[in-house]
Amino acid sequence: MILDIVQVGDPVLRQKCKPVTRFDGELCKLLDDMKETLKKAEGAGLAAPQVGVPVRVVAVDVEEGYFEFVNPIFVWQKGEQCGPEGCLSVRGKVGDVTRPSKVKIVFQDRKGDKYSLVARDFFARAVCHELDHLDGVLYTDKASHVRDSED
Ligand code: NI
């Protein structure tokens, strides 16, 4: 099911999201709906609060593949990159954000199994952007030169 993407101004985007404790059908449904919603929106990532659910779940869709991270936590962040960023919850805008160039996270999958992953470059940027959403942070809080996007 395609879900509505919450827009900036909605308090759900400013909440500290709760960890997932039950790896059940409800979580699978959320992840499936987030996938459908993200594919339709053609974005690089989507966090659960963006569909109105304040839990620690994100999806990232990048060159390296489609990823679902439940309860993701940074292990380390290295380097620096600065580049343009947008957000499905801040339509029509883009801004330049400095992010780490390489990050390592630990996370769970929809079954609760634990994994770790290293992401770099744009993938790292997308991971950082989505993890910020879980703490109520929007890229516009960190961006310089927020402007109207071309498309
Ligand atoms: Ni976003």
Domains of the chain (ranges, CATH numbers): 11-148 (3.90.45.10)
- Annotated active-site residue in 26, 68, 130, 150: 130
**45 C-alpha to ligand 1 centroid (Å):** 7
**114 C-alpha to ligand 1 centroid (Å):** 24
Alpha-carbon distance 9 to 3, whole Å? 18
* pLDDT at site 76: 98
**71 C-alpha to ligand 1 centroid (Å):** 17
**36 C-alpha to ligand 1 centroid (Å):** 16
130 assigned to active site: yes
Alpha-carbon distance 41 to 145, whole Å? 24
Q: What is the mean pLDDT, run by run of 10 residues, along the chain of 151 residues?
A: 98 98 98 98 98 98 98 98 97 97 98 98 98 98 92 62
Alpha-carbon distance 84 to 145, whole Å? 10
* pLDDT at site 150: 78
Residue 102: name the closest of 87, 128, 85, 121 by CA. Answer: 121
* pLDDT at site 131: 98
pTM here is 0.97
Ion ligand 1 neighbours, Cβ < 5 Å: 87
